[in-house]
Amino acid sequence: MPTPGQKAPDFTLFNSDKQEVSLGSFQGKNLIILFFPMAFTSVCTAELCEMRDNITTYADLNADIVAISVDSPFTLAKFKEDQQLPFNLLSDFNKEVSQAYDTYYETFVMNLKGVSKRSAFVIDKEGIIQYAEVLDSAGDVPNFQAVRETLASLN
């Protein structure tokens, strides 16, 4: 698993607007990367809505947010619209980024293969990981207080 102090694995993924977004797009800003198992599920919805509801807190900490799942860009577009999420949802449909960040279930519930684990990473302005949390239980949510504290220490 990528750990604090390491360079964050680079990526380029399509967002829900079918535009490419890469890690380099956020150079000069802090970035929160959230991996989540599946759009429209209860815990994922609650997690991303918590980020939505606290978006000004993260903006004040000079941080952008992206949320990544293996859902298609089309599914993510509907999820983003339904939940009014003000940040990029990125499709890791090919599962390469989830694997690069070692946040990946080979087999998930209902024998679904290749689903992102719920996790949170804070990447600093230079692309270095400052916080990493990968959860084995999809029912848990990341420690958002620790994410905020990490961001505050970077400013």
Q: Using CA atoms, how far apart are residues 110 and 30, in angstroms rounded to an integer?
A: 36
Across the chain, which distance is largest between two alpha carbons, in Å? 43
Strands of 129-134's sheet, edge to edge? Answer: 20-22, 12-15, 88-91, 63-69, 30-35, 119-123, 129-134
Q: Which residues participate in catalysis according to the annotation?
A: 44
Return the ∠ at Cα 107 (arms to 102 and 108), rounded to 5°: 95
Q: Using CA atoms, how far apart are residues 103 and 97, in angstroms rounded to an integer?
A: 9
Q: Using CA atoms, how far apart are residues 4 and 121, in angstroms rounded to an integer?
A: 9
